Amino acid sequence: MPSSIKLLGLPQDNNSTYLAGPEWAPNRIREGFHCESANPWTETGYDLSDNTLWQDAGDLPLQGKSGQEAHDMIHSAVSDLIAQGHRVLSLGGDHSVAFPVIAAHAQAYPGLNVLHIDAHPDLYDNMQNNPFSHASPFARLMETGAVKRLVQVGIRTLNGHQRAQAEKFGVEIHEMRDLSRVDQIIFDGPVYLSFDLDALDPAFAPGVSHYEPGGLSTRQVLDIVHHFKGKLVGADVVELNPHRDPGNITAMVAAKITKELMGRLIADQYSP
């Protein structure tokens, strides 16, 4: 019997560089997920009302915690769930949570690839004297040497430092100004997908801390989730800021993308 998916909330924004708010995101996404305005089926045909397919693992008690303590808690919890045979889909929280989550996956899945969808490359060596800020998780990951390949999509905020970091780590970047090769992304081996909601244009996702116009549409993101070539083993959805989300628009978008990531995780368990 294939493993089930565990939905894990990571309510932390202590590593945000601009606004607080993402610590309140996991439950807002859950509310969107269960909202009766939508149904529980994925576009790919999975009925998520079937509780044998996934279970909610609740939230880690991360409020007020930062630095090594929070990272250790996240890494340990995710590692334990993977060791129990589950696939983990995490709900942030700011993007700093991706470092311990992906590090845990890299230990469990040798040769892990990472598909990162975001407006920002998050490759800063040190942001605001915090090397573990939400602007730095992929620098920390690439320093470990445990990630085989990092592919970023939707980027539109590269500066000189981050371009140099991308070259240093061999990051493959599909900038928003030219997505012509996105449909050619092929991964050999396991894939982790990290999705920052500000990858979307603010017209589709106003409930984020960092507005960056000129982004992806919701449909473009879903097309990537559905069609990239590789085997998905874990994912996260991060950076919803409920304080900036009129009418819970972005929470509903996050819930939709969460559903489709679940569908992809389920499908890929059956793939060779």
Write down all domains in the chain, each with its CATH number in brackets: 5-270 (3.40.800.10)
Give the pLDDT means over successive 10-residue stretches in the chain (272 positions).
86 86 96 96 97 97 83 97 97 95 98 98 89 90 97 97 97 97 95 98 98 98 97 98 97 98 94 70
The pLDDT value recorded for residue 2 is: 60
The pLDDT value recorded for residue 4 is: 93
The pLDDT value recorded for residue 33 is: 97
SS in 3 state form for the chain?
CCCCEEEEEECCCCCCCCCCCHHHHHHHHHHHHHCCCCCCECCCCCECCCCCCEEEEEECCCCCCCHHHHHHHHHHHHHHHHHCCCEEEEEECCHHHHHHHHHHHHHHCCCEEEEEECCCCCCCCCECCECCCCCCHHHHHHHHCCEEEEEEEEECCCCHHHHHHHHHHCCEEEECCCCCCHHHCEEEEEEEEEEEHHHECCCCCCCCCCCCCCCECHHHHHHHHHHCEEEEEEEEEECCCHHHCHHHHHHHHHHHHHHHHHHHHHHHHHCC
Share of the chain above pLDDT 90, in %: 88
The pLDDT value recorded for residue 135 is: 86
Q: Give residue-wise pLDDT tens across range 204-221.
A: 999 999 999 999 999 999
The pLDDT value recorded for residue 1 is: 47
The pLDDT value recorded for residue 127 is: 81
The pLDDT value recorded for residue 228 is: 97
The pLDDT value recorded for residue 3 is: 74
Is the pTM higher than 0.85? The answer reads: yes
